[in-house]
């Protein structure tokens, strides 16, 4: 709706609309979510335990989800969905999947082709009058295709009834191995004949060594661009972090610091854009093995259920899990609950006892109480993080509005809930600078450093506070530069403060503040040529929260 009918369902101006991302705010996350949805509804459309009407209606969702997936222009999500579909068909090993595929593939192909040919909807400005006109046409086609998929599946329900009356497998067990080997041989021969190995070699070379193509004018070009879009550099930094500490890694949540220390380009990155390399770098080989064992257990549990009577539905779940696991290796959106929460929910059901087993294995209350108590204890830490984060968000928003009184109060509340967080101290430090208390600011930044010594931003703030107080900022800047050698702010600060006399440090520090409003306030104070006044409550000037003062 937000892409095809923006005048009916407009989005906020701060939501990027070049690639479809609403309401998740990240296009690749929306893409893989649509891919997972396609695989799950295919399972519903093929399952013999579902009502016939439900099977038909499920098919109507595929053209809608397929078109949505296309407008995300997410290459990784599309590829993961295709691989997940192959896993689904292979794991199902049932002719029941084919009526559903016959019902959804033609309408979905028509909907996606029409969407692809809508060139204005594939541009950086899809909400123009021409784009809205194309959106009306695409909406009509998608609705008709959804209805066509429902009608086709309803017409093919007779085949389901024939399959219900068919007893025994279509392929006798003694012939399955020769048939499977013959199918694999046929696929290999066709792949060699059409040049798939050469194409794969070209795609790999483009992924590993190619530069991203400028697709801002025509986003369709992204779909044929094999470049990694910088992911190779991100993964290389994670591998280098692993090389420095192979057993236990460099620490959970520290990839950003490793990137800042090792990066070759001037780009800010928080995640490695890949679950497996990031885990390898942060928690070492042991952490990666634990993760693979855990995910492998979920996959095994689902695959084991896919051999039972309702194999088609569990095969679809296995295909969706495979798509998620593959996509998690090339992006960071596995961190979003909407993308990942279902994995643990369905994984838990895959490990649950079957009904007939559960009736004979009832867990005594004496065992349930300790388990419930342990779960309650483990919920304390997430609860503290939640309370601390809510106060931190309010502090950051207050800083954005220029209300340092509120920002400081909320930052202190965040620390009271969880004292190990450095971000609240950063907010308090910059507010102390705005209020003319550089000594208090230096103390706040030092507390932030104590909580997170690997961050360059807190040492940069400490340097500004020391310069404003007339103290030597160079030691703090030198340590900041070690942690982020390519940061231009640090280079400028070292040069400017080294060449200025001590009497000018306060003014120079004002010009080096990382946000414009902070620079203006400190500059006003430095030109007043007087010592900072005694602390008293007041409201700071408006400005955006610098550095890591972010609410997330």
DSSP 145-170: HHHHHHHHHHHTHHHHHHHHH--S-S
Per the CB < 8 A criterion, the answer to whether 5 and 131 are in contact is: no
CA gap 310, 49 in Å, rounded: 7
Per the CB < 8 A criterion, the answer to whether 269 and 281 are in contact is: no
Q: What is the pLDDT of residue 355?
A: 58
Looking at the 3D structure of the chain, how many domains does it have?
Answer: 4
The pLDDT tens digits along the chain (552 residues) read 666 766 666 666 555 667 888 888 899 999 999 999 999 999 999 988 888 899 999 999 999 999 999 999 999 999 999 999 999 998 988 888 899 999 999 999 999 999 999 888 888 777 788 878 888 899 999 999 999 999 999 999 888 777 766 655 666 777 777 877 888 888 889 888 888 888 888 888 888 877 777 766 678 888 888 888 889 999 999 999 999 888 888 988 899 999 999 988 888 888 999 999 999 999 999 999 999 999 999 999 999 888 877 889 999 999 999 999 999 999 999 999 999 999 988 877 777 766 555 455 555 666 778 878 887 888 888 888 899 999 999 998 888 888 889 999 999 999 999 989 999 999 999 999 888 899 999 999 999 999 999 999 999 999 999 999 999 999 999 999 999 999 999 999 999 999 999 888 888 888 887 766 555 555 554 454 343 333 333 333 333 344 444 333
Query: The CATH number of the domain where 503 resides is what?
Result: 1.25.40.10
Name the 3-class secondary structure at 363. Answer: coil
Same domain, 400 and 471: yes
Same domain, 156 and 254: no
Same domain, 414 and 456: yes
Q: What is the pLDDT of residue 328?
A: 96
Q: What is the pLDDT of residue 537?
A: 35
Region of residue 407 (phi > 0: left; psi between -120 and 50: alpha; otherwise: beta)? alpha
Spell out the residues 6+ positions from residue 185 whose beta carbon is closer than 8 angstroms to its own. Answer: none
Same domain, 159 and 183: no
Indicate whether 372 belongs to any domain. no
Structural domain containing residue 24: 1-166
Indicate whether 371 belongs to any domain. no
* Preceding omega of 23 cis (within 30 degrees of 0): yes
Q: What is the pLDDT of residue 538?
A: 33
Residue 269, phi then psi, degrees to nearest 5: -135, 135
Q: What is the pLDDT of residue 354?
A: 63
Same domain, 335 and 410: no
DSSP annotation of 352 reads S
Same domain, 344 and 422: no
Indicate whether 364 belongs to any domain. no
Domain boundary, last residue among 166, 185, 216 = 166
Spell out the residues 6+ positions from residue 270 whose beta carbon is closer than 8 angstroms to its own. Answer: 255, 256, 332
Q: What is the pLDDT of residue 532?
A: 37
Same domain, 162 and 182: no
Q: Report angle CA 85, 86, 89 to the nearest 5 degrees.
A: 85
Same domain, 189 and 145: no
Indicate whether 400 belongs to any domain. yes
Q: Tally Cβ neighbours within 10 Å of residue 496.
A: 16
Indicate whether 237 belongs to any domain. yes
Same domain, 115 and 190: no
Spell out the residues 6+ positions from residue 481 whose beta carbon is closer than 8 angstroms to its own. Answer: 456, 487, 490, 491, 494
Same domain, 194 and 265: no
Name the 3-class secondary structure at 384. Answer: helix
Per the CB < 8 A criterion, the answer to whether 107 and 148 are in contact is: yes
Q: Tally Cβ neighbours within 10 Å of residue 307.
A: 11
Q: What is the pLDDT of residue 336?
A: 93
Provide the token pair at 444: 């706040």
**372 exposed, middle or buried (CB, 10 Å; 0-12, 13-18, 19+)?**
exposed
Same domain, 158 and 30: yes
Indicate whether 21 belongs to any domain. yes
Indicate whether 402 belongs to any domain. yes
Element (H, E) at 429: helix 423-434
Q: What is the pLDDT of residue 544?
A: 38
Per the CB < 8 A criterion, the answer to whether 370 and 510 are in contact is: no
Domain boundary, last residue among 118, 134, 166 = 166
Domain boundary, last residue among 137, 166, 195 = 166
CA gap 520, 402 in Å, rounded: 13
Give the long-range contacts of residues 524-529, CB within 8 A, separation 24 or more: 525/436, 526/468
CA gap 431, 412 in Å, rounded: 12
How many alpha carbons fall within 13 Å on the CB side of residue 15?
18
Indicate whether 505 belongs to any domain. yes
CA gap 513, 497 in Å, rounded: 13
Same domain, 340 and 416: no
Per the CB < 8 A criterion, the answer to whether 81 and 69 are in contact is: yes
Per the CB < 8 A criterion, the answer to whether 83 and 326 are in contact is: yes
């Amino acid at each position: 709706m937000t892409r095809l009918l923006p005048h009916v369902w407009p989005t906020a101006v701060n939501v990027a609309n070049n690639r479809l991302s609403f309401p998740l705010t990240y296009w690749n996350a929306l893409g893989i979510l649509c891919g997972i949805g396609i695989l799950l509804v295919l399972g519903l459309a093929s399952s013999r335990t579902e009502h016939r009407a439900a099977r038909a209606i499920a098919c109507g969702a595929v053209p809608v989800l397929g078109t949505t997936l296309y407008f995300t222009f997410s290459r990784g999500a599309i590829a993961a969905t295709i691989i997940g579909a192959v896993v689904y068909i292979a794991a199902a090993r049932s002719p029941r999947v084919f009526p559903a595929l016959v019902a959804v593939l033609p309408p979905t192909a028509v909907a996606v082709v029409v969407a692809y040919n809508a060139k204005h909807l594939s541009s950086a400005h899809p909400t123009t009058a021409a784009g809205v006109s194309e959106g009306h046409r695409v909406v009509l086609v998608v609705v008709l295709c959804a209805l066509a998929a429902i009608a086709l599946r309803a017409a093919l329900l007779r085949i389901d009834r024939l399959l219900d009356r068919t007893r025994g497998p279509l392929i006798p067990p003694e012939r399955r191995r020769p048939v499977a080997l013959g199918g694999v041989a046929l696929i290999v021969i066709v792949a060699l004949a059409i040049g798939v190995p050469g194409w794969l070699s070209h795609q790999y070379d483009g992924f590993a060594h190619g530069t991203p193509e400028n697709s801002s004018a025509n986003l369709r070009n992204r779909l044929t661009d094999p470049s990694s879009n910088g992911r190779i550099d991100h993964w290389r930094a994670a591998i280098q972090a692993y090389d420095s500490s192979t057993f236990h890694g460099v620490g959970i949540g520290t990839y950003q610091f490793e990137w800042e220390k090792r990066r070759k380009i001037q780009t800010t990155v928080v995640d490695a854009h890949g679950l497996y390399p990031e885990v390898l770098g942060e928690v070492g080989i042991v952490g990666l093995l634990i993760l693979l064992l855990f995910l492998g257990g979920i996959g095994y549990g689902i695959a084991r259920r896919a051999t039972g009577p309702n194999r088609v539905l569990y095969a679809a779940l296995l295909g969706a899990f495979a798509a998620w696991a593959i996509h998690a290796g090339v992006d960071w959106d596995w961190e979003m609950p909407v993308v990942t929460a279902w994995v643990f929910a369905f994984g838990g059901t895959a490990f649950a006892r079957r009904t007939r087993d559960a009736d004979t294995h009832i867990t005594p209350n004496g065992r349930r109480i300790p388990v419930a108590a342990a779960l309650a204890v483990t919920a304390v830490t997430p609860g503290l993080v939640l309370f601390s984060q809510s106060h931190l968000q309010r502090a950051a928003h207050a800083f954005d509005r220029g209300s340092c009184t509120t920002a400081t109060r909320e930052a202190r509340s965040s620390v009271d809930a969880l004292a190990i967080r450095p971000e609240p101290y950063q907010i308090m430090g910059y507010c102390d600078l705005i209020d003319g208390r550089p000594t208090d600011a230096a103390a706040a930044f030092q507390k932030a450093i104590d909580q997170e010594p690997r961050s360059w931003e807190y040492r940069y703030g400490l340097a500004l506070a020391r310069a404003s107080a007339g103290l030597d900022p160079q030691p703090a800047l030198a340590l900041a530069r070690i942690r982020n050698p390519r940061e231009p702010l640090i280079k400028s600060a070292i040069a400017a403060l080294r060449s200025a006399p001590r009497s000018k440090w306060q003014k120079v520090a004002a010009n080096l503040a990382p946000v414009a409003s902070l620079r203006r306030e400190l500059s006003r104070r430095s030109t007043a040529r007087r010592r900072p006044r005694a602390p008293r409550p007041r409201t700071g000037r408006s400005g955006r929260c610098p550095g890591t003062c972010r609410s997330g």
